[in-house]
Amino acid sequence: MIFGNKGKLSHRYVVPYKILKRVGKVSYELELPPELAVVYPVFHILLLKKCVGDLASVAPLGSVAVKDSVCYEDVPVVIPYHQVRMLRNKEVASVKVLQRSHSVEGATWEAKVAMKSKYPCLFPSNSTPA
């Protein structure tokens, strides 16, 4: 099971856990210790690795820290493009948003009104209203 920060020298897997049951075609439920009670115990097979008994490659559980508020929020960094589309009888303004953890190819189109209300710092004060 993969946990923690990804880095060149960081541990990729933590101690082995017992598989309780197969939940779907590619997911398994693990028996997790009480310290990891906030983690949902069902994992995709790609996140698991067969334990062959080499304890030197396994990180001790003490080095794994799981916060109670496990959530991830992507923060927009810049708006490189603006566009206005005509839909029958109304105009819809949208912006292309580049998120902090995505590449340029991963930028998404969002409604300009929603982005301007949530992140006004991304829009200069002299821009045209949406």
- pLDDT exceeds cutoff 90 at 28: yes
Domains of the chain are: 1-71 (no CATH), 76-122 (2.40.50)
CA dist., res. 43 & res. 21, Å (int): 11
Q: pLDDT for 42-57, tens place per residue?
A: 999 988 888 766 666 6
Query: What's residue 74's pLDDT?
Result: 76
pTM check: above 0.85: no
- pLDDT exceeds cutoff 60 at 129: no
Q: Please state, for a pLDDT cut of 70, what percent of the chain lies above it.
A: 72
User: Per residue, what are the HEC states of the chain?
Assistant: CECCCCCCCCCCEECCCCEEEECCCCEEEECCCHHHCCCCCEEEHHHCCCCCCCHHHCECHHHCCCCCCCCCCCCEEEEEEEEEEEECCEEEEEEEEEECCCCHHHCEEEEHHHHHHHCHHHCCCCCCCC
Mean pLDDT over all residues of the chain? 79
Q: pLDDT for 81-111, tens place per residue?
A: 889 999 889 998 999 988 887 777 888 888 9
